[in-house]
Structure 1
Amino acid sequence: MIRLDRYVAWTVTLMMVLAGVGLLGVLSLFTMLEQLESLRHEYNLQAVLRYMAYTTPRRFYELVPYTALIGCLAGLGMLASNSELVIMRAAGLSTRRLTLAATAPAILLVAFGLGLGEYVVPAAERIAQNDRARARAEGAIVNEFGHWYREGDVYMHFDLISRGGVLEGVSHYVFEDDAMVAARYAERAVYHDIDEARRYWLLKGVTESALGEAAASVRALPSLEWRSELTPQVLATEMLVQPDKLSIAELDYKIGYLARQELSTVSYELAYWRKILLPLSTVGLVFIAVSFVFGPLRESTMAVRVLSGLAVGVLYKFAEGLLGPLSLVYGIEPWIVVLLPILGCLGIGGWFMSRVG
């Protein structure tokens, strides 16, 4: 029986590898065509290829559940087409054991994906987005309206972010009881990380204005230390890297940071729970694949099975995107929203398996 388990697992693994290579190739092709349409300044073909290389780990990570789904569907489907599943079941291999044998490669794939998503994707994605933004903007991250940020009662505006995380055109607006009480402008700000006790931004070319009830005072300073929780890493996360491309640890820190500033954390919580529940979502899709092979797709061709896997993957992704805004609109807990499509997969798979049983 152990040999049969290994044979099933090996067949599914081989199909997962082929599915992963195929999906990654197609997605990379579309991404490259999209990037080639936006060539400008220093963002040339060489920069596009560098961007593609750095973002490959992220694309693979995003495809993990769908690779497991299609690989499992194709692997078990091939065994079914050759009547090997019938022989295995006749030899005493139960449907449950076949399911476990098919799920084992998916678990290994998820473990690899989680390691990639936690330790490789965030750093590679940050490099890719920084390089692309600076190449497109000739050395600085530029937004037509600048960049706004809030920390407590202080609202900040940066004209642009130069290389090395240097801020250009820094404006601070301090509010108390819904009224602005002070304003500050600095030509630039450079971050200094000396040690844990000495982390600050050094503002240069500073003009400070204090707004009183009767009068306002203005003073000019050559430089000024500005202590803040805001760091170049937080800025890079906020301005360049989307929540779903951060690691679990970075998401946890970002959620805490935004909560302390009384800002919305929903988008980061959704990304956090999607990463935490990635193993369960993958198992849910694999369960769908197994139930399809033993149920409605038992006599189908390989092409039909692969297309069915793609259709299920698209529907699952659509459900994720559709349910996500419910947290914002109706205040539903993000973990519930993320869990709903997973429970749907398990429910549909269980229904098909019960009919087979």
Structure 2
Amino acid sequence: MKYLTGDLIERNISKRVFLSICIVGLSVALLDSLFTFLSQLSDLSDSYTVRDIFFYSLNSVPISVYEYLSFISLLGVLVGLGSLKEEGEIMASKALGKSDVLIFIASLRPTLVIILLALVFQETALPSISQKNEETRLIKQNNISYDDGYWYLSESSINFFKSTSDRENIEEVTIYELGDKKNIEKIISAKSANLINGEWILVDLFSRDFVDSEINESKSKIWKESPSDKDMKRLLSPKYLSILELRSVLKEEKLEFKLNSLELEFWRKVFYPITTILLIFLGASFIFGRVRDDTLGKRLLLGVLLAFSLNLVQSLLQSMAVVSFLTPFNAVLLPFLGIFLISLYLWKSRAT
């Protein structure tokens, strides 16, 4: 048990770092929700009210916290270890036999727990929360065109639906039934479709039959060529998928442009926990490396600037991976290697 939690000195360091990460995380969540709320006010309308904007901003908090967790951890370690250094507790810990490495491990323990919980959250709840939040916003804004919706081809029809707030409900379905010569014989429009007991049920249908020149309406009907679970995973944005789902979709996807975005999201999510640990390593190097004599404020400012710079570089490389020769794997790996080399240099320089 001692190896997991450490002794009293190490637990004190872990507790301080954990509290610092929580404070930074809360601050980031509040600021992000406020900026999100303000940015959405320009889209205010009769269908997209202040109440809708408030709940959209509120539901964006867990998504934002996960997205910024690496930088939150970096700043949390800087604040936690920096405050301990300012108070002389780092020096006291060293006097009691604690090396820089042991102090770093103590600061890493609470972060590993947070990373593990975040990874479980990403693989279970986060994709559905993100999907529901974004799709609901687009529906409320009436901001989905035929270019923005979801298209897929079944055996004898071309199918379109406007949005899906979750994987059991689809909004505004249009089905173009094809004849033997692949000409459109019938168009079926439905207000929605719901997955009930493994079957998709179309609701409030309106159909136009061009062969028999008939127009019909009905309350509900079984959707015979409805999207399968595999179809839904292929149709949805990669950000709505977990790592395991992305892996399964990558094995089946054939389109080159879609493969790039899927691979990029897959490697980004795979490297995310490791990048977070490296950023903690980098944050600790500011305490023990060449910047160890700087004040807490200077170290914190340096950490913020580094976080923003890294975020900018990551965004740039990932954008290049979609449209250029740069592979998705390399686009994610290059910032990872950069963080590692900078951290290694700062740690090695702590003795000089």
Counterparts of 1:312 and 1:145, CA distance in 2 = 38
2:44 aligned counterpart, secondary structure: coil
| 1:216-258 Cα distance to aligned partner (Å, 9 max, x none) | xx566769965254669938963xxx5334322443344345x
Q: Does structure 1 retain, via aligned residues, the 8 Å contact 2:173–2:193?
A: no
Residue in structure 2 matching 1:143, options 131, 142, 145: 145
More displaced 10-residue stretch of structure 1: 324-333 or 153-162: 153-162
Q: CA RMSD in A?
A: 3.5
- The equivalent of 1:8 in structure 2 is 13
Change (3 A) 1:235 1:11: closer
| TM-score, reference length from structure 2 | 0.81
The correspondence of residues 87-236 of structure 1 with structure 2, limited to 5 A, is: 87-137=92-142, 142-143=144-145, 147=149, 149-151=151-153, 156=158, 158=160, 160=162, 164-171=169-176, 181-189=182-190, 191=193, 193=195, 205-207=207-209, 226-227=224-225, 229=227, 234=232
Structure 1: gaps (5+ residues): 209-217
Q: Does structure 2 retain, via aligned residues, the 8 Å contact 1:72–1:289?
A: yes
- The equivalent of 1:42 in structure 2 is 47
- The equivalent of 2:334 in structure 1 is 340
Change (3 A) 1:157 1:194: closer
Counterparts of 2:179 and 2:341, CA distance in 1 = 52
Residue in structure 2 matching 1:265, options 247, 256, 259: 259
Alignment-mate amino acid for residue 263 of structure 2: E
- The equivalent of 1:213 in structure 2 is none
Structure 2: gaps (5+ residues): 1-5
Alignment-mate amino acid for residue 314 of structure 2: E
Alignment-mate amino acid for residue 187 of structure 1: I
The correspondence of residues 265-284 of structure 1 with structure 2, limited to 5 A, is: 265-284=259-278
Residue in structure 1 matching 2:247, options 241, 248, 252: 252
- The equivalent of 2:3 in structure 1 is none
- The equivalent of 1:312 in structure 2 is 306
Change (3 A) 1:151 1:338: farther
| TM-score, reference length from structure 1 | 0.80
Q: Does structure 2 retain, via aligned residues, the 8 Å contact 1:147–1:158?
A: yes
For these two proteins, the number of residue pairs brought into alignment is 336
Change (3 A) 1:185 1:305: farther
Shift of the alpha carbon at 1:292? 1.1
Counterparts of 1:148 and 1:310, CA distance in 2 = 39
Alignment-mate amino acid for residue 283 of structure 1: I
More strand by percentage: 1
Shift of the alpha carbon at 1:322? 1.3
Shift of the alpha carbon at 1:107? 1.0
Counterparts of 2:39 and 2:116, CA distance in 1 = 30
Counterparts of 2:224 and 2:255, CA distance in 1 = 17
Change (3 A) 1:191 1:132: closer
